[in-house]
């Protein structure tokens, strides 16, 4: 998953996290309308206006921030009790929001205890108004049931958050392991050559000026060793930076599924020429990026078709089709340059059945193509 993909997914996730509680607050209209129809006095109207103005931000503060929740939650309960007793018993429904917030933000025994305590508080407040009314039983039951439901949902949310943290930690560990591997490879590659270069340089300095010809021979060998070491470093760095098709397919699956796009992969099991595999890996990365950013798709398919002469990779989705930013962006331009560098071609546009499709065709064997 690229940084752009992570950022796009993160923004989308933050939007949905805010949408749910804000939508929930819209249901405050129901007790508010009942209160307005009950011919309230002026001071009750002022009390309700001030109470609801405080309740909404307190609810969002509890649900949406990582700050400590006792004081905001206590404020919600104070408003709930005050409006239920002093304004209208219909505001007993505010305890539903309080129980839901406590269930989402607390964990383990603390969340279950908070829901039980809020249910008892709601029952006590409503009992002081009209304990025999259907509202008493309906509201108390709703507080308990909704709190229990959000205990389950909160557990799932916390499990998902722990899973995301674990994935991030595994990714960091993988990067660290790769750096260690690369450093070990460089040490193995250069350790012997650099030691030999140092010895020959010392020998050449001792041979000068008495034995110029022998010193020149040593200097020539130093030059050859230096060139060999430099070539090994270039090859090592090239292999280190080159993406692989399996890793990019795995990353694309995680990224697309996180964006709500189902991915199906076909024909990716055969070994490929390293240069061919590198171009196809870049194609997978670019195709996944385009699908997440531009397509609005629900399903995507990646098909690899190895052949004796040409290897083809196709990425298709069922989204909105070709858009200007997707077809002419820097990503496809760079991918086209990589494919052309090994004699390949790129086709991008709306597929026959709609959606967006990218097809990459490259020579199957770069050794044969080079000859």
Concatenate the DSSP letters of all residues of 217-272 into one string.
Answer: HHHHHHHHHHHHHHHHHHHHHHHHH---HHHHHHHHHHHHHHTT-EEEEES--S--
252 and 348 assigned to the same domain: yes
Neighbours of 316 (CB within 10 A): 23
281 and 353 assigned to the same domain: yes
237 and 263 assigned to the same domain: no
343 and 212 assigned to the same domain: no
Element (DSSP H or E) covering residue 196: helix 134-207
DSSP letter assigned to residue 46? H
Number of H helices, E strands in the chain: 13, 5
235 and 251 assigned to the same domain: no
Last residue of a domain, one of 165, 200, 223: 165
Dihedral of the alpha carbons of 145, 150, 156, 161, in degrees to the nearest 10: -170
Largest CA distance in the chain: 116
80 and 50 assigned to the same domain: yes
213 and 279 assigned to the same domain: no
Is 316 within a domain? yes
- Residue that has been written with the tokens 């760095």 in this structure: 237
11 and 157 assigned to the same domain: yes
Is 89 within a domain? yes
**Which pLDDT score is estimated for 156?**
82
234 and 258 assigned to the same domain: no
45 and 161 assigned to the same domain: yes
- Asked if residue 233 lies in contact with residue 270, where contact means CB atoms within 8 angstroms, the answer is no
In the chain, how many domains are there?
Answer: 3
Q: Give the 3-state secondary structure of residue 311.
A: strand
CATH number for the domain including 190?
1.20.5
268 and 206 assigned to the same domain: no
- pLDDT tens across the length of the chain (371 residues): 433 334 344 444 444 455 656 666 677 777 778 778 777 888 888 888 888 888 888 888 887 776 656 788 888 889 888 888 888 888 888 888 888 888 888 877 888 888 899 889 988 888 888 766 767 888 888 888 888 888 888 788 778 777 777 777 777 777 777 677 667 666 666 666 677 777 778 888 888 888 878 888 878 888 887 887 777 677 666 665 567 888 888 888 877 886 778 989 988 777 888 889 888 988 888 888 888 777 788 899 999 999 888 999 999 988 877 655 445 556 788 888 889 989 999 998 888 878 889 999 999 776 544 43
Is 192 within a domain? yes
Last residue of a domain, one of 165, 191, 217: 165
CATH number for the domain including 366?
3.30.565.10
Last residue of a domain, one of 140, 165, 190: 165
Dihedral of the alpha carbons of 218, 223, 224, 227, in degrees to the nearest 10: 160
**Which pLDDT score is estimated for 360?**
93
233 and 250 assigned to the same domain: no
Alpha-carbon span 295 to 316, nearest angstrom? 10
Is 170 within a domain? no
Is 172 within a domain? no
Side by side, the strands of the sheet bearing 262-266 are 262-266, 299-305, 310-317, 356-363, 345-350
Computed on alpha carbons and rounded to an integer, the radius of gyration of the chain in Å comes to 33
Is 61 within a domain? yes
- Asked if residue 261 lies in contact with residue 317, where contact means CB atoms within 8 angstroms, the answer is yes
Neighbours of 162 (CB within 10 A): 10
Is 100 within a domain? yes
**Which pLDDT score is estimated for 15?**
47
How far the first Cα of the chain sits from its last, in Å, is 36
Range of 336's domain?
Answer: 245-370
- Asked if residue 317 lies in contact with residue 356, where contact means CB atoms within 8 angstroms, the answer is yes
Is 176 within a domain? no
pTM reported for the whole predicted model = 0.43
Would you call the peptide bond into 48 cis, given omega within 30 degrees of 0 as the criterion?
no
């Amino acid at each position: 998953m690229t940084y752009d993909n992570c950022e796009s997914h993160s923004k989308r996730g933050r939007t949905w996290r805010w949408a749910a509680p804000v939508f929930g607050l819209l249901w405050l209209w129901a007790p508010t309308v009942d209160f307005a129809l009950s011919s309230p006095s002026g001071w009750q109207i002022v009390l309700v206006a001030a109470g609801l103005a405080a309740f909404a931000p307190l609810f969002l503060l509890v649900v949406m921030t990582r700050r400590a929740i006792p004081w905001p939650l206590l404020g919600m309960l104070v408003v709930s009790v005050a409006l239920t007793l002093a304004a209208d018993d219909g505001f007993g429904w505010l305890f539903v929001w309080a129980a839901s917030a406590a269930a989402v933000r607390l964990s383990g025994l603390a969340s279950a205890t908070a829901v039980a305590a809020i249910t008892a508080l709601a029952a006590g407040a409503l009992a002081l108004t009209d304990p025999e009314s259907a509202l008493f039983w309906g509201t108390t039951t709703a507080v308990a049931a909704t709190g229990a439901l959000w205990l389950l949902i909160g557990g799932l949310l916390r499990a998902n958050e722990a899973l995301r943290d674990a994935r991030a930690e595994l990714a960091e560990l993988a990067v660290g392991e790769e750096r260690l591997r690369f450093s070990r490879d460089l040490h193995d590659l250069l350790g012997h050559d650099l030691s030999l270069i140092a010895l020959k340089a010392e020998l050449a300095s001792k041979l000068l000026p008495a034995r110029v010809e022998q010193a020149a021979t040593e200097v020539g060998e130093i030059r050859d060793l230096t060139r060999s070491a430099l070539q090994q470093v270039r090859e090592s760095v090239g292999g280190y930076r080159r993406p692989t098709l399996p890793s990019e397919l795995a990353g694309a699956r995680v990224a697309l599924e996180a964006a709500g796009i189902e991915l199906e992969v076909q024909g990716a099991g055969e070994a490929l020429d390293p240069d061919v595999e590198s171009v196809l890996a870049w194609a997978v990365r670019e195709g996944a990026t385009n699908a997440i950013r531009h397509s609005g798709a629900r399903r995507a398919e990646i098909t690899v078709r190895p052949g004796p002469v040409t290897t083809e990779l196709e990425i298709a989705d069922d989204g909105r089709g070709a858009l200007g930013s997707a077809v002419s962006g820097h990503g496809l331009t760079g991918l086209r340059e990589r494919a052309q560098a090994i004699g390949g071609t790129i086709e991008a546009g709306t597929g026959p059945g709609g959606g967006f499709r990218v097809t990459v065709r490259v020579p199957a064997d770069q050794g044969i193509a080079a000859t």
